[in-house]
Amino acid sequence: MLTARLRNYFVVGDDSLGQKMRLRRWARLKQEFPDLEEMRVLDLGGTTVFWSRAPVKPKAVTVINLGAAGEGLPWVTPIEGDACDAPKLVRGETFDLVFSNSLIEHLGGHRQRSTFAEVTRSMAPHYIVQTPYRYFPIEPHWIFPGQQFLPRKVQAWLAPRWPLAHTYGWPPDQARDEVMSTELLSLTDMRTYFPDARVVWERFLGVPKSLTMIR
């Protein structure tokens, strides 16, 4: 019961810290792109559910997700596929903005991240890419202090056992694979991948929690 309440407070509740920060990101998106309602958006790694709950509504959104992107909406088109293959998957389509929220840290290595960044920068005149900051003291996926700095073996042991983790109770091999596929990035990393963007920080109690690259 306590674990559920803590997860509800930090992550999943309608009034959780995570939800409050997501609302701030939506406000930032609207502030950065005041004509968003007239824009065609390419979302790399998102879902239709994410957009159905959003307080903003672009003219059209195309969502590319390696897994199930969700059911289509009149203004949201889901495509199952790899975000790095976006140019092939949406051939002939044009977009005003590429949007990506907490995907780049799950791509599996520098080569994939580089390809993703090239695709992001080439698909529209504007982009906004958000990722958790590597040096925030709480690892945001598992809500465990400093987990990102622990040996992989220890992270894999914790993943199915730590009650606040989204992998709590998972089979050990599946939880280990989730750990192995998650790599938080630094400011230097993100500036390398997106050299033509400016950085916007999201802070919690004054401490940088995530960073967003905007062009």
CA dist 43 to 9, 15, 76, Å? Answer: 28, 25, 10
Strands 144-145 and 76-80: unpaired
Write out pLDDT tens, residues 90-124. Answer: 998 999 999 999 999 999 899 999 999 999 999 99
Domains within the chain, CATH numbers bracketed: 2-138+183-214 (3.40.50.150), 142-181 (no CATH)
2, pLDDT greater than 60: no
What values do phi and psi take at 60, rounded to 5? -155, 145
Which segments of 81-206 are extended strands (E)?
A: 97-101, 126-132, 138-139, 144-145, 198-204
What's the pLDDT score for residue 7? Answer: 55
Q: Classify 45 in phi/psi space as left (phi over 0), alpha (psi -120 to 50) or beta.
A: left
pTM of the shown model = 0.87
